[in-house]
């Protein structure tokens, strides 16, 4: 069991042997007094007379596949776990949702279902760290000309959304995530127009069976002088058991901080303090867009001065200064970068290597398919490596394996879930993927990490397991009807455009 390098002793014949597709054989709620809860302007409570057609059904949904006892054998295993490394002809055993063995050989007795891993690379499922999943319903609808720029399109169409639109967008995003090898998502929900919208979002996540954090945020067009719906956030926390999907889903706050993509002091202090303090009372993790664009320069320093960087996940941080990077490290903050969307919208280039050099946990994110087109973690990894090597004018500034860590174990650290997922290690939950190498774009096999970062595509993901449940097998989803989900999303998009009179 060694990390692969150019002197590694694994054999191409062992990895590539076998058929193309595998075969199967045999968070404490703190109390707060009323005076504390009314120190900032509150968001007016919206009316909830939603038309029946837009009402969200109860959180029932389709049944998820059962957890099982599985042994993946004879695969190239990339554990992403120090002390285990890569196993060229490896076995992974999963029992009741937990990884119980990662080794060269495991005991096949005990009635386990054996999965043939020949021709496959097995690695942890990708951990996505910041994604506005609801606006997957707006894919391809912004960016061709200023009248249809991302922020204008999202705000104007977001105001026309119904709870069902939220459900359709998030369900489509979850479908794509699973199919692409993303097993954990951070759903940064910033169009919660009333409580029904949050429940619709959660229903989609629960039905998909994906792991993730649901970060409760504002709505599009939210009055910057009003807090988000803190009363509903607290109610959701109190009732979380019915939404957690067996602890697969956790709750957080999508905090606007001092302005997000707005100028540094766009949100009044009374508002951002009230929101942050509410998250602290409720014991919720906090995530914030900060210093992502030139209009937002200095936001990280502002959060640090206010004492509100501790354990916060900072998103983008494109314009973070050396002093701000030091402040994030000292505060125990983590970072999520979105290289494809940051390039696409013209924010600039996040200093990923500087974050890594400061030993700050960094994860990769989709951000929004409205901008980047798809949820392709392989492309995100390739973009991140290209940015860092290009900026440094150094082919070796950041290695493929290091970038792969950002998509797996480092992403898990950024989300605070590395004790559960992000690497293949006995005792962790069984979130893993199998990538088929017997395909044209991977058919001439080289360095496995390089292959995953530079050559692999979502279509190469043969098998996806989340918490021990097989959600994709042989290249096909096992529990979600992709054709129906895509058609219903298209219907919702057409109705949305008609309501909004949007081309």
Radius of gyration of the chain (CA): 22
The sign of the torsion formed by the CA atoms of 435, 406, 252, 53 equals negative
List domains and CATH numbers for the chain: 12-26+65-124+424-477 (2.30.40.10), 126-422 (3.20.20.140)
The alpha carbon torsion through 309, 312, 313, 317 (nearest 10 deg) reads -10
In the predicted model, what is the mean pLDDT of the chain?
Answer: 88
Mean pLDDT of 120-141: 98
Give just the sign of the alpha carbon dihedral 376, 377, 382, 384.
Answer: positive
| Bigger pLDDT: 75 vs 302 | 75
Given this model, what pLDDT does residue 48 score? 38
Q: What is the pLDDT of residues 431-462, one digit of tens each?
A: 999 999 999 999 887 899 999 999 999 999 99
What confidence tens digit (pLDDT) does each residue in 177-213 have?
A: 999 999 999 999 999 999 999 999 999 999 999 999 9
Distance, CA of 201 to CA of 133 (rounded, Å):
9
Q: What is the pLDDT of residue 266?
A: 78
pLDDT digits (tens, 9 = 90+) for 260-292: 666 667 788 999 999 999 999 999 999 999 876
DSSP type of residue 492: H
- Is the alpha carbon torsion for 19, 445, 462, 492 positive or negative? negative
Three-class DSSP category at 351: coil
Distance CA 325, CA 327 (A): 5
Rounded to whole angstroms, how far apart are CA atoms 262 and 289?
Answer: 10
Among 78-92, 102-116, 334-348, the range with the most confident prediction by mean pLDDT is 78-92
- What pLDDT does residue 290 have? 87
pLDDT in tens, 70-85: 999 999 999 999 999 9
The reported pLDDT for the residue numbered 10 is: 39
């Amino acid at each position: 069991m060694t990390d692969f390098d150019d002197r590694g002793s694994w054999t191409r014949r062992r990895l590539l042997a076998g058929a193309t597709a595998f075969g199967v054989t045999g968070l404490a709620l703190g109390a707060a007094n009323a005076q504390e809860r009314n120190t900032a302007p509150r968001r007016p409570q919206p009316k909830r007379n939603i038309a029946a057609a837009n009402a969200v059904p109860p959180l029932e949904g389709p049944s998820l596949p059962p957890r099982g006892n599985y042994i993946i054998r004879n695969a190239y295993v990339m554990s992403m776990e120090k002390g285990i490394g890569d196993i060229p002809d490896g076995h992974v055993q999963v029992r009741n949702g937990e990884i119980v063995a990662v080794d060269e050989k495991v005991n096949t007795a005990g009635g386990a279902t054996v999965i043939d891993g020949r021709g496959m690379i097995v690695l942890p499922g990708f951990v996505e760290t910041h994604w506005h999943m609801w606006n997957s319903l707006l894919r391809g609808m912004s960016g061709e000309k200023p009248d249809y720029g991302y922020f204008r399109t999202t705000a104007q169409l977001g105001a026309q959304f119904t709870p069902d639109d939220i459900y359709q967008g998030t369900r489509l995003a979850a479908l794509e995530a699973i199919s692409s090898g993303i097993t954990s998502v951070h759903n940064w929900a910033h169009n919660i127009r009333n409580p029904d919208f949050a429940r619709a979002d959660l229903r989609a996540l629960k039905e998909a069976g994906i792991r993730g954090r649901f970060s409760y945020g504002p709505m599009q067009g939210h009055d910057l002088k009003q807090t988000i719906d803190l009363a509903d956030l607290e109610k959701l926390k109190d009732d979380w058991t019915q939404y957690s999907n067996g602890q697969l889903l956790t709750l957080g706050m999508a905090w606007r901080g001092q302005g997000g993509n707005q100028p540094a002091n766009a949100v009044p202090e009374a508002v951002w303090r009230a929101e942050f303090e509410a998250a602290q009372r409720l014991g919720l993790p906090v995530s914030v867009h900060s210093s992502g664009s030139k209009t937002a320069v200095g936001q990280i320093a502002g959060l640090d001065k206010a004492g509100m960087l501790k354990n916060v996940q900072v998103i983008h941080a494109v314009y973070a200064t050396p002093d701000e990077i030091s402040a994030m490290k000292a505060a125990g903050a983590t970072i999520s970068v979105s290289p494809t969307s940051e390039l696409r919208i013209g924010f600039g280039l996040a200093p990923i290597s500087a974050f890594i050099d400061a030993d700050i946990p960094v994860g990769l994110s989709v951000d929004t398919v409205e901008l980047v087109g798809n949820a392709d973690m392989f492309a995100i990894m390739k973009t991140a490596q290209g940015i860092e090597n290009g900026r440094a004018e150094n082919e070796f500034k950041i290695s493929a394996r290091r970038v792969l860590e950002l998509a797996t174990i480092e992403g898990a650290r950024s989300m605070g879930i590395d004790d559960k997922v992000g690497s293949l290690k006995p005792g962790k939950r069984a979130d893993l993927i199998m990538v088929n190498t017997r395909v044209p774009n991977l058919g001439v096999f080289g360095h496995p990490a390089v292959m995953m970062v530079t050559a692999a595509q979502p279509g190469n993901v043969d098998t996806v397991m989340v918490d021990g449940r097989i959600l994709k097998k042989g290249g096909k989803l096992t529990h979600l009807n992709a054709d129906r989900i895509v058609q219903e999303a298209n219907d919702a998009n057409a109705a949305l455009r008609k309501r909004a009179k949007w081309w």
